[in-house]
Structure 1
Amino acid sequence: MLALTACTPSSQSTPSSNGSTLVIADGADTTEMNPQTSLYDSSWRIEDMVYDSLVTTDDKSDILPSLAESWIQDGNSYVFTLRDGVKFSNGRALTADDVVGSLQMLLDPATGSYWASQLGPVTAITAVNDKTVRIDLSAPYTPFLAALASTSAAILPMKEYQDGTFDPSTEMLGTGPFVVDSHTQDQEWQFSANPGYWGAADMDVKAVTLKIVPDDSARIAGLRNGSVDIAYFANPDAPTLLNGVQNVETTVQGSSDTYWLILNAANPDSPFADKAQRQALATAINRDGLIDTALAGAGEATGISPATLPGSCSPDSLPTYDADPAAATNILDGSAAASFNLMAPPYLTSFKPIAQYLQQDAQAAGFNATIETPEMGDYVDRVYTQNPADFDAVIDYFAGYLSPAMAPANAVVIPGETSEFSGFAVETPGLADALAAATSATDTASETAALQTACELVAENAFIIPLATKSTTIGVRTDRVDGTIPAFDGYDIYLRNITTYALKG
């Protein structure tokens, strides 16, 4: 195995032997290659090394040029001017036809991309000329540029796709800063700089090794002994674990991802088919206490619209956010609080301490929660495959994206339509209308008011109980790497600044 192992290394900090290669250790690999259909942030981070989108973002959630050097908005139409000198890594120049074909394929129902709905009411995508693309929408849609900034909206080489020499499900061919040299599943990726990348002249890093190291202690060992330059941690305790490791600087990176407590409101055998039980449990939860105790103080209490995004709703005045066991008891109006199973999935270390904290808050209101941690396949089957779903309550997290109106769309249930939430969700009357008002608002005040309404409706229905925003920790060997980890990233791309990094020594 080429990845770091969990054996105990020397405790002494030694000079890096990585030469001109930047070595990164992450805890998870991906089996997804196609950015249009990838579902997980671990996939987006890898695909972002190879692909570019029309626009990108920064730690302030601003929209910045990428493949498009500029754009203008004319009513419900956007006209993008493509950057000169952009080439795919096979040497072919990017054209407007690649942009048009990529976005049309993304929107095609046959592609099956969940991201298609995030682009909004697109009616036409046309090439004005080789360097200009026009996208028309049927109505105002405030998250449009934010949706284009996602790796899911990456531009693919459509000529090669159409002539059958490129299959995005099995290989990567993009206009981004790196190309894939090799990949050993669940062990490592090898990347080299793309000489045709439009920003190649300003790049210092010429090669990257991404090691897949599931064990936190092994990633810390790699930072300590210098065999790893940058390491990623989802564990909220990582800053404490990294404290005192010589030459390592840690950044706690905020995101718009949010932890949710999901209650099974659709299965009649679940105690949470009863709305009063859902509301009572939600009312008992002290989010500030959860953040301090289970998340090491990292994160913010949130509604369904991520609190870390500008313009999101304030959780302070939402229904069922009282953090009051007595108020929870009053909601039940003499009925007994339920006994239930609380699922903590195995794929994040933070889920177990969150479950333990929620168990205490629930007990204070008379509930009896039994924590279970199923195998990964069992969790996916019981929560997202079976219909009705076979669980009472589960802790999970969901991407919040870049615009405050994007994540709440996950909570919309349309009768007769099937989604991954169908097995446990119930309709929230008025939510779809509130989100439509938010995404079509032409002024900030109207958008904020509509988002507040959406948050209130979700909090009142309480089959989704938003808890807190999710943070991650990145450790960097400062004697080896000169670069800044962004303090925030809406798409959880912690290496977004990699083209600005320089290697020392």
Structure 2
Amino acid sequence: MKRSLLLPAAAASLALVLAGCASGGGTPAPTSSDDGAELLTSTPTASSAVDEISWGYNAELPTLDPAQSISRNAGQVIANLCEPLLITQPDFSVEDNLASLEYEDDTTLVLTLKDATFWDGSPVTADDAVYSLERTRDPAQASEWAPYFANVTSITARDDQTLAITLSEPDFVFERALGTLAGAVMQREFSEAAGDQLGSLQGNLMCSGPFTFESSTASSITLAKNADYWNSEREPLTERVTINYLVDGATASAALTAGDVQGMYTFPADATDALSTSSAGEIYLGQSTSQFSFIIGNLEDNPLEDPRLRQALSLGMDRAAVASKVFGQSGTAATSIYGTAITSQLGDEAAVFAPGPDLEAAQALVDEVIAEKGEQRPIVISYTTGVGPEVGQMVLYLQQVAEQLGLAVELNDQPPPVWIEGIMAAQTNPSFDLTFGYGGPVIADPVAVLIDFQPGAISNYTGYDNEIVNDAIATARSASDPAERAEAALAAQEQLAADLPRIPVANVANLLFMSNDLTGAPASSAANTYPWAAVIGGR
């Protein structure tokens, strides 16, 4: 690759959350948590092979389709099966993978495929790559990766080994997208024959990764070592990996502390206490783009239509205290709209939200709105505690902040399938006042956050459309000077901090628990698009 990039989501519980809340009014560099602990990118390299690994996954796997791999962090599984043209390393740098990349000019990317093969032994061709990329950017797929293809005008095969991608304007983030599952390559012939079943949990997939699909049940999926894997530098150290769906904290902590499951990313927060004292393994804190935030819904007939009330909620929160109480050692105050793996690139200027509350300023804004418009109806928060009790604790905290300011809040705790259905429907018809976001982009670049605020973005529930932000996003994507791109990212944040279509609360480090006999796993959130199972082995 000839060009590198320098700039790359009850009263007792409430008492627990609020206890002690008394605070006052290129390649990413290593980052630290608030207590000074360094956030890792990887664990020590493995030195020996192991027969089998039993791993945990904090949801029910929704799909094996790379185009849909952002949903529920499904990429955490899929990245062990399907490979992108480039690859995002655990430190978020991007390197050649299935292909090597060169630029003919600022708007023409040329990718030359290596001698890679699919699981069935057939070669990976440029035609397969063109098919896969075109499918991901096809609006009919409704892929969350699609916004990264916004500047792509054509994808063509020049010969069996070479494809060219033409852009309408320079886009320095698109290269990074090719290092995620947005750039994954599937065999065209198999995929077209699979039709609607492509990517189903029955293994309807033909990829080139270090593992192949072996079997799937309602509670787990098993991957087998690809005995003929083309890349000798990443040959798996284990013959088989069983990934178990561990949704609740009690089940996860019991399985991990007993050694029945040997490791897990992003385990439920309520498992942290048990795991932190377990002799079975160790918790690792990794670099992450992840945040917990509150997301505003449809502004029509929404009490939060007035940005002053959004500002009041933001000012009223003690981010430092609530992040620590709810997320423990993995939580820090979100003083930026960007997670820690991104703010480390932008410097101190990235901090625009105070870690502590300013209740006097918050109350003044609420009083001003009520004086002008009268009492507001209750704010309805739609959420689900089914993804973890920390969601409920954060919502209860926000309710107390709001009510302290004189704003009523109604809680609508829904079963996960109901909440997910509502969120999916909200992409075209948002019907809630407020919901939550818990995660972050795979790509550690400000644009990966900012594209959520563009018109038509899947999670732009307010219909937010701001010229300053749109122009800044365009600059952050196209400018060749890293300083200019950083300046644009900060300008966009300044406007978003005023308008607050999303209220960031806590940065959340990537959590990894791994048994004492294993090592090698990436620690950062890049694991959501990296073949982590291939590099885990014995100490």
TM-score bracket, normalised by the shorter chain, equals: 0.7 to 0.9
CA distance in 1, matches of 2:356, 2:258: 48
Alpha-carbon distance, 1:326 to partner: 0.9
Which whole-Å CA distance do the structure 1 matches of 2:367 and 2:396 have between them?
Answer: 26
Q: Which residue among 423, 427, 439 is the counterpart of 2:477?
A: 439
Determine helix, strand or coil for the equivalent of 1:455. Answer: helix
Aligned 1:423-502 pairs, distance under 5 A = 424-479=462-517, 481=518, 483-490=519-526, 492-493=528-529, 496-502=531-537
* Alignment pair present for 1:395 and 2:436: yes
Higher normalized contact order (CA 8 Å, seq sep 6+, divided by chain length): 2
Q: Does 1:359 align with 2:393?
A: no
Greater share of helix: 2
Aligned match for 1:261, one of 288, 291, 294:
294
Residue of structure 2 in register with 1:5 after alignment: none
* Contact map agreement 2:264 2:514 (CA 8 A) in 1: yes
Q: Aligned letter for 1:54?
A: L
Q: Which moved more, 1:222-231 or 1:150-159?
A: 222-231
Q: Shift in Å at residue 484 of structure 1? A: 2.6
Cα separation, 2, equivalents of 1:231 and 1:377:
23
Matched, 1:209 2:242: yes
Residue 311 of structure 2 is matched in structure 1 by: 279
Question: 1:151-191 CA deviation, whole Å, 9 max, x = no partner?
Answer: 23210101333466995243121100111111113x11121
Bigger mean CA deviation after superposition, 221-230 or 381-390: 381-390
- 2:67 maps to which of 36, 42, 49: 36
Are the equivalent residues in 2 in contact too, given 1:80–1:134 (CA < 8 A)? yes
What is the match of residue 374 of structure 1?
414
Q: Distance in 1 between matches of 2:367 and 2:277?
A: 52
Indicate whether 1:251 and 2:284 are aligned. yes
- Cα pair 1:282 1:321 within 8 Å, conserved: no
Query: 2:384 matched to 1:345?
Result: yes
Gap regions ≥5 residues in structure 2: 1-49
- Once the two structures are superposed, what CA deviation does each residue of 1:460-497 show, in whole Å capped at 9, x if it has no partner? 11221122333342221122x2x23323224635x743
Q: Structure 1 residues 331 and 404 mapped into 2: Cα distance closer, same or farther (>3 Å)?
A: same
Closer, same or farther: CA 487–204 of 1 in aligned 2, 3 Å? closer
Q: Give the CA deviation at 1:435.
A: 0.8
Candidates 368, 372, 391, aligned match of 1:334: 368
Three-state SS of the structure 1 residue aligned to 2:328 is: coil
Q: Which moved more, 1:173-182 or 1:290-299?
A: 290-299
- Read off the aligned partner of 1:134 and give its amino acid letter: A
2:495 alignment partner AA: L
| Cα shift at 1:502 | 2.0
Whether 1:404 and 2:443 are equivalent positions in the alignment is: no
SS across alignment from 1:296: helix
Alignment of 1:125-274 (within 5 A): 125-162=155-192, 167-170=197-200, 171-185=204-218, 187-199=219-231, 202-268=235-301, 270-274=302-306
Of 311, 319, 326, the residue aligned with 2:345 is 311
Identity %: 22
Q: Which moved more, 1:117-126 or 1:435-444?
A: 117-126
Pairwise CA distance, 1:145: 1.6
Aligned residue in 1 for 2:357? 323
Work out the CA distance in 2 between the residues paired with 1:313 and 1:393.
Answer: 30
Q: CA RMSD in A?
A: 2.9
Structure 1 residues 143 and 220, CA, compared in 2 at 3 Å: closer, same or farther?
same
Quote the Cα distance in structure 2 between the aligned partners of 1:302 and 1:348.
24
Cα distance in 2 for residues equivalent to 1:485 and 1:121 = 34
- Does the CA-based 8 Å contact 2:257-2:275 persist in structure 1? no
Matched, 1:22 2:53: yes
- 1:418 CA displacement: 8.1
Kept in 2: contact 1:238–1:473 (CA 8 A)? no
Match of 2:135 among 102, 105, 122: 105
Q: 287-296 vs 446-455, which deviates more?
A: 287-296
Where in structure 1 are there 5+ consecutive unaligned residues? Answer: 1-18
